[in-house]
Amino acid sequence: MRLAVTGTSGQLASSLIEVGANAGVEIIPIGRPQLDLAGSSEGIAAALAAAAPDIIVSAAAYTAVDRAETERDLAFAINATGAGAVAAAAAMLGVPVIHISTDYVFDGRKPTPYLETDPTGPLGVYGASKLAGEQAVAAATPNHAILRTAWVYSPFGNNFLRTMLRLAGERDELRVVADQYGNPTSALDLAAAILVVARNLVATPDDPGLRGIFHATGTGDASWAEFAAAIFHASAALGGPTAKVKPIPATAYPTPAA
């Protein structure tokens, strides 16, 4: 199976390359300058067609949550218009597309885990752009699986785990938000799940039960402070950097997208 993934340096693309190598799947990462999600739909289609894939994973995205509040046009160009162009290219090639989305499409106020059937309600530009991307993908092709994930971490790219370890090398104590909860998700585990979904989509082109929106996260939940403490506990066992975690409320750490 030839799997084209948008993005070359992101943590999910890097994880797919590693997991795919062990699973006998040919991973073809496509990024700039060949693929510019903010560019023309024709250019996006040409870049993906050149890879001759059996399936496409739409993983590249604008992920600067706070900066999106002042870069709305760019966020929507990449996360909505670009995502739709990738899905349209998949339809043109006659192959399925797996689109990676986010828990930011919800407002976070539900006291229990969100279901795929729950109403969406993004609070900021980033979430709104990702929701628009989901809608663009669904409009472009019925042959899609949209995977919503959350709190992705890995040894690659920029993520909470790597940030905590870097800061622990600079400070003895870190103030970490303790009243926001989510599902920490290993990018390597997510990549393995994507390969399962990809194989099923390719093998069963007429099964509607495998197409639509699905939630794909780690099974446990934690606050950011609890996640940080778990990171440092594991790091200490390996002789890595650690820091004391001081829990704080989200109101003590305001952000533009809050």
pLDDT in tens, 68-109: 999 999 999 999 999 999 999 999 999 999 999 999 999 999
Q: Indicate the pTM of the whole model.
A: 0.94
Q: What is the mean pLDDT of residues 47-61?
A: 97
Using one digit for the tens of pLDDT, what is the confidence trace for 2-35?
Answer: 999 998 888 999 999 999 988 989 999 999 888 9
CATH topology of domain 2-153+186-218: Rossmann fold (3.40.50)
**Residue 244 pLDDT level (bands cut at 50, 70, 90):** very high
Contacts of 241 by beta carbon, 8 Å cutoff, 6+ apart? 165, 168, 169, 232, 235
Would you kindly state where each structural domain of the chain is located, as residue ranges?
2-153+186-218
For the chain, how many helices (H) and strands (E)? 8, 12
Q: Is the pLDDT of residue 183 over 90?
A: yes
* Buried/exposed code over 121-141 (b: 16+ C-beta within 10 A; e: otherwise): ebebbbbbbbbbbbebbbebb
187: which 2 tokens? 């990018």
Task: Please identify which of the residues 114, 126, 153, 181 carries the catalytic annotation.
Answer: 126
217: which 2 tokens? 């996260």
pLDDT score of 255: 73
Q: What is the SS3 assignment for 9?
A: coil
Residue 23: in which H helix or E strand, if any? helix 11-23
Q: Is the pLDDT of residue 157 over 90?
A: no
Q: Is the pLDDT of residue 258 over 80?
A: no
Q: Is the pLDDT of residue 140 over 90?
A: yes
Closest CA to 147 of 5, 1, 2: 5
Q: Is the pLDDT of residue 257 over 70?
A: no
Q: Is 126 a catalytic residue?
A: yes
Closest CA to 190 of 90, 33, 59: 59
